[in-house]
Amino acid sequence: MLHFKRCQLLKQIAQKCLSRIHVKTDKHPQLFLSRTFALAELRKSWHSIYSLVGDKNIILMGPPGAGKTTVGRIIGQKLGCCVIDVDDDILEKTWNMSVSEKLQDVGNEQFLEEEGKAVLNFSASGSVISLTGSNPMHDASMWHLKKNGIIVYLDVPLLDIVSRLKLMKTDRIVGQNSGTSMKDLLKFRRQYYKKWYDTRVFCESGASPEEVANKVLSAVKRYQDVASETFISTRHIWPKDCEQKIPAKFFSEAVIEGLASDGGLFVPEKEFPKLNCGEWKSLVGATYIERAQILLEKCIHPADIPAAKLGEMIETAYGENFTCSKIAPVRHLSGNQFILELFHGPTGSFKDLSLQLMPHLFAHCIPPSCNFMILVATSGDTGSAVLNGFSRLNKNDKQRIAVATFFPEDGVSDFQKAQIIGSQNENGWAVGVKSDFDFCQTSIKRIFQDSDFTGFLAVEYGTVLSSANSINWGRLLPQVVYHASAYLDLVSQGFISFGSPVDVCIPTGNFGNILAAVYAKTMGVPIRKFICASNQNHVLTDFIKTGHYDIRERKLARTFSPAIDILKSSNLERHLHLMANKDGQLMRRLFNQLEEEHHFQIEKILVEKLQQDFVADWCSEGECLAAIHSTYNTSGYILDPHTAIAKVVADRMQDKTCPVIVSSTAHYSKFAPAIMQALKIREINQTSSSQVYLLSSYNALPPPHEALLERTKQQEKMEHQSTS
C-alpha cells in the first residue's frame, strides 16, 4: 500500500531539488499546460514550409553511381513532372562544356565554387532534380535548393557504389585524382550527405531503379503526412462511431509527457515499421551508429526530429563515452551461447545504451519556453545512467531540464549507491528512499497524476514533470537497436546466415529490455524465443507460466541482482496491450485490479499467445554465484549477477537447436562483493572502490571498465538527500 504521507515527502524533495537548480523561470502556466497545442502549431508551421505540394521539388542526393539520374526519370514519369539533371541540364548548358572538361580546366576547389554559383542562379518548381555527387559540398547552393524542396538521400552501400563506378566513366568526380582511394573519397563525402537530407531511402544491394523510385515516393509521402505516426495510451478506449475520438499524441509529445494522463503507457497507434530482408542484409557490415540511424529514422517522424538532426544526436550519444568502439559487442561464450555486452557505456550498464541518447531526444522535443523536472525511480543502474546522460546536454538545455532520481537506500549494491550519489551534478540530484523500488516507481506515477502538485510546479516554477524511466517511449525505443545489432553481428561474424533464428535470454524485472527485443522481432529480426530470467523475485516467471500476476503474498527479496528486484513490471502493460490487439479497456481493468487487489489473471487464449513466444524460469542466489564461479573457471569470463541469472536460465530452458544471445546488462565491477564471494576471494573489509581495483587485477574477461575505476576515486565522499 502506498502511504500518502511518504509520497508527500517525495514531492517535497522534488520541489526542493528544483529550487536549488538555476532554471530559467517564466511563471506563465498556460505556456506549459497547453504544450500539446503549441506542438500542434509547430507541426502545422513545419508542414506548411516543408511538405511537397504544388511547386515543391523532389531533390535526389547521393554519391556518384547512386542512380540519381535514372531514378529521377522514373519518378518524373510516374508523377508526370519535369526532370532536371544538374550535370546535363544546368552545369553543361551554363558552361558550354562537359563537366569533366570543366573539372580538368579549373581544378577541384574552383570547380566546387563555380558549380555552386550555377545552382544558385537556377530555380525550378514542381520538378524532380537529380543533384551531382558534389553539390552537397557547397552550403549556399544547398540552402537555396532546400527552401523549395525535399532532399531525398539515396543511401547505397559503399561496396555497391565502388563496384558501379568501376563499370562507369568516372572522370568527372571531384577529388578523384587527388591520390585518395575511391572508397575513402566516398566515405569523406558522407558527412555532407548526412548534413542536408530531409529523408533517407535505404537502397539495399540489388534493388532495381524501379524499386528505389517507389521507395522515394513512399518516403516523400511519409514526409508529407506529419499526422501519420501517432501514439496512444495502453489504456486508450477506442471510441464508437457516435463518440468523438480522443486526439492521439505525436512522438515528441509522448517523449515529453512520459506517462499518459490516464495512467497508461504510450505505444505506437500503428504497427512498428519493418525492414525487408535486403535492407537487413545491407546492415550486416554497418557500424552500430549506422544501424541506429537507419532503424530510428524509421521509428521517429522527421516532423518530430529531422533525420539529419537525429543522426547528429546518435553520433554524439555513441561516441568516445563508450569504452568499446562497437558499442554493444557480441562475444562467443561457449557452445551455442553468446554474450551481448551492454556495459561499455560511461556508467557500466545497459541503461547507457538508451540514456546517452534519450536526453538529446527529450531536449529537442520540449518547447523552447518550457522548463522540465525529470523524476526517475531506479532499482540500481538507471539512476547513475540518467544523471550521467542529462549532464552531457549543452548549458542552455541543462538550465531548462532538472533531474531527481529516487533509489531504495538499502536496495542497491554499495557500488551502485556510490555511483548514483557520485553522478550528481549541477542539474541532477539523488534521493535515497527507505523503501523498495516498487514504492519509488508507484510514488512517481502518483505524483504525475496529482494535478494540484503539477499545477503548483507550473505556476510557481514554470515547470512540467516528465520521466526518464522505461515507461518513457524515448527511453525504451533506443533499446531496440542493440537487439537488432546483436543479431547482425552474429551474421557478420559468420556464426549464422541471415534468416536463421536465434533465442534471446534476458534478466528481466521491469520488462523493458525484453520488450525492446520483441519490438526488434516486429521490425524483422528473426528471434524465435524470448527467455525471461528472474531472480528470487520471480513474479514475471510465474505470470508467463500461469497467466496469473499475483503479488498479494509476496515480499520483495533483496538479492545479488538488485536491478531486477521488482514486483511491479511497468512495461508488461505494453506487451499485453500488443497481444490483446490494443484492447485499452482490458488494460484498464487488469492494471486497476493490480493496483487495488494486487493481482490479475488473463484469459487462457492470451496465456497461450504469450507462451508461443515466451518461456521463463528463475534462479536462486546459490545458483547465481555458482554460475559466476563455473563460468570464470571454464572460460576466464566474469559474469555480473544479472547475467549469471540469465545464463542459468538459458542453460535450463534453451534447447540448443539455435544460438542464444544472453544479455549482459552490467559490468561485474558494480557488484564486487558478490563476485568476490562467488570466486571465493577472501572477504576483506574494504571500500567498494578497493574491491573494484582488486578484481581488475585478475586479468579476466571482460577487461576492467576504466570509467568505473575513475569514478570510484570521487564517489564515496559525496552527500545526498534521503527520506524515510
Active site residues: 351
**Cell 506515477 identifies what position?**
445
Q: At what angle do helices 451-461 and 437-448 cross, to 10 degrees?
A: 70
Distance separating alpha carbons of residues 318 and 392, to the nearest angstrom: 12
Distance separating alpha carbons of residues 211 and 200, to the nearest angstrom: 14
Distance separating alpha carbons of residues 454 and 33, to the nearest angstrom: 10
Is residue 463 within 8 Å of 373, Cβ to Cβ? Answer: yes
Distance separating alpha carbons of residues 280 and 32, to the nearest angstrom: 41
**Cα four-point dihedral sign 215, 496, 272, 312:** negative
Please, where are the H alpha helices in 126-208?
139-146, 158-166, 182-196
Q: At what angle do helices 307-317 and 182-196 cross, to 10 degrees?
A: 120
Distance separating alpha carbons of residues 33 and 333, to the nearest angstrom: 52
- State phi, psi for 419 to the nearest 5 degrees: -70, -45
- Tell me how far CA of residue 353 lies from CA of 103, 168, 327, 571, 584, in angstroms: 45, 42, 8, 18, 30
- Tell me how far CA of residue 257 lies from CA of 23, 249, 253, 445, 578, in angstroms: 19, 10, 6, 12, 21
Is residue 484 within 8 Å of 640, Cβ to Cβ? Answer: no
Distance separating alpha carbons of residues 528 and 480, to the nearest angstrom: 16
Is residue 397 within 8 Å of 368, Cβ to Cβ? Answer: no
User: Which residues are registered as beta bridge partners of 507?
Assistant: 533
Is residue 265 within 8 Å of 618, Cβ to Cβ? Answer: no
Distance separating alpha carbons of residues 724 and 13, to the nearest angstrom: 12
**Which DSSP string do the residues of 400-419 spell out, in sequence order?**
HEEEEEEEETTSS-HHHHHH
Strand residues in 453-517 grouped as ranges (E): 463-467, 502-507
Q: H/E element holding 103? A: helix 99-106
Distance separating alpha carbons of residues 85 and 69, to the nearest angstrom: 6
Query: Nearest Cα to 79, choosing from 127, 120, 112?
Result: 127
Say which residues have a Cβ less than 8 Å from residue 407's Cβ, sequence separation at least 6.
Answer: 377, 378, 379, 380, 383, 417, 420, 430, 431, 432, 433, 437, 440
Query: Nearest Cα to 88, choosing from 146, 131, 41, 48?
Result: 131
